[in-house]
Amino acid sequence: MKDKNIYILAIESSCDDTSAAVLHDKKVLSNVVATQKIHEEYGGVVPELASRAHQQHIVPVVHQALNKANIDKKQLSAIAFTRGPGLMGSLLVGTSFAKSLALGLDIPLIEVNHMQAHILAHFIEGQSDGIPDFPFLAMTISGGHTQIVLVKDYFDMEILGETLDDAVGEAFDKSAKLLGLPYPGGPLVDKYAQEGNPDAFLFPKPKVDGLNFSFSGLKTSILYFVQRETAKNANFVQDNLKDICASIQKTIVHILMDKLKKASKQTGITRIAIGGGVSANSGIRMALKQAEKKQGWTTYIPKFEYCTDNAAMIGIVGYLKYQEGLFADQGVTAKARYVLDGEKL
């Protein structure tokens, strides 16, 4: 028998978004995200500034999440928080806050692996593609990770392949930086790509064995391409921005789709889910939906607000762990490197 009427307050602070959410069982009542603008001017996340911004945001963000959900903190059943992986200084803010609040309210504390949360976000009530049956394949594509994961059960996952260097989100962001676009450049590349010609320029695809990825070569080839072309025409990037973005996006989407097809063939699994910030990308969303017909796949794409970092996905893991009695004690510490399939619970 599952416990009903569980209210979870979830906190996410692994990178540069401070987020708090309240869930009633699998339903999200509120999901507040404060994105830190401070990093834009530095062209990337500055860990010390991120940690300080989390400290400023966390109390108002939690208040807002409780208010929006119309819940008093005395009604909460448990507090869930991101333990890792992520930036240590950022994780510490959410971890300490969650521990103190759980202690003060005398309710259970639940630690959550951020990468598992990107995958388990599919179990939030109201996802438009429904809920995947086990086993399924999940490709987690974010600013910090690129993985293909075999999901056998909620907490039984196996990494089949991952990036050997840059994450796919970094590939988007670093390419954008080379084009003079502000951080984070991924969403901007996507925006311009939608109006450009994806066949205008050709970039090489890396040859990597098995189900692993590599994106650092692509970044270098874009750098040389931009240098070569701007030597001939100083306005090359401005004149061709949409076509360059479309061509970069097409290359990245091909790399991702090729590995997914390989993983599906290798495992015989045709239920395919994606998660993480890059799953907000229009190119990968479209390619996946096309693969439903071409490959005979059933695909699961999270709602937009559950793709990039958010506390609702931490909350659903909190709910699932609550059902299993998987609670953390007050001795729990943040874990910057927290492997998704490294330790059993």
Residues making contact with ligand KG4 (CB under 6 A): 15, 142-144, 169, 172-173, 184, 186-187, 190, 276-278, 280-281, 308-309
Bridge partners for 298 per DSSP: 271
Nearer to ligand KG4, 187 or 206 (CB): 187
Tell me how far, at minimum, the Cβ of 176 lies from ligand KG4, in Å: 8
Token readout for 299 is: 């695909």
Token readout for 62 is: 């939690």
Angle subtended at Cα 165 by Cα 139 and Cα 242, rounded to the nearest 5 degrees: 75
Tell me how far, at minimum, the Cβ of 313 lies from Zn ion, in Å: 8
Which position's Cβ is nearest ligand KG4? 277
Nearer to Zn ion, 142 or 299 (CB): 142
Nearer to ligand KG4, 108 or 144 (CB): 144
Say how far apart CA 92 and CA 98 lie, in whole Å. 10
Using CB distances below 5 to 8 A depending on partner kind, what does residue 184 bind out of Zn ion, ligand KG4, none?
ligand KG4
**Chain centroid offset of residue 215 CA:** 17
Tell me how far, at minimum, the Cβ of 24 lies from ligand KG4, in Å: 25
Give every strand in the sheet of 271-275, ordered side by side.
Answer: 156-162, 146-153, 136-141, 271-275, 298-300
Name which position in 142, 175, 240, 264 contacts Zn ion (CB under 5 A).
Answer: 142
Token readout for 316 is: 């659903």
Residues within window 292-311 making contact with Zn ion, judged by CB under 5 A: 309
Stretch that binds Zn ion, among 66-74, 137-145, 236-244, 265-273 (CB under 5 A): 137-145
Q: How many CA atoms lie within 13 A of 208 on its CB side?
A: 21
Binding to Zn ion by residue 170, rule CB under 5 A? no
Q: What is the widest separation between alpha-carbon atoms in the chain?
A: 70
Kindly state the number of chain residues that form the binding site for Zn ion, as judged by CB under 5 A.
2
Token readout for 40 is: 């834009």
Contact between 327 and 301 under an 8 Å Cβ cutoff? The reply is no
Tell me how far, at minimum, the Cβ of 152 lies from ligand KG4, in Å: 23
Cis peptide before 184 (omega within 30 of 0): yes
Nearest to 12 by CA among 166, 176, 106, 28: 28
Using CB distances below 5 to 8 A depending on partner kind, what does residue 161 bind out of Zn ion, ligand KG4, none?
none
Say how far apart CA 167 and CA 85 lie, in whole Å. 14
Which position's Cβ is nearest Zn ion? 142
Residue 200, SS3? coil
Tell me how far, at minimum, the Cβ of 260 lies from Zn ion, in Å: 19
Using CB distances below 5 to 8 A depending on partner kind, what does residue 186 bind out of ligand KG4, Zn ion, none?
ligand KG4
Cis peptide before 132 (omega within 30 of 0): no
Tell me how far, at minimum, the Cβ of 71 lies from ligand KG4, in Å: 26
Sign of the C-alpha dihedral, residues 53, 59, 60, 65?
Answer: positive
Tell me how far, at minimum, the Cβ of 184 lies from Zn ion, in Å: 12
Nearer to ligand KG4, 73 or 177 (CB): 177
Nearer to ligand KG4, 10 or 101 (CB): 10
Nearer to ligand KG4, 142 or 299 (CB): 142
Which parts of this chain interact with Zn ion (CB under 5 A)? 142, 309
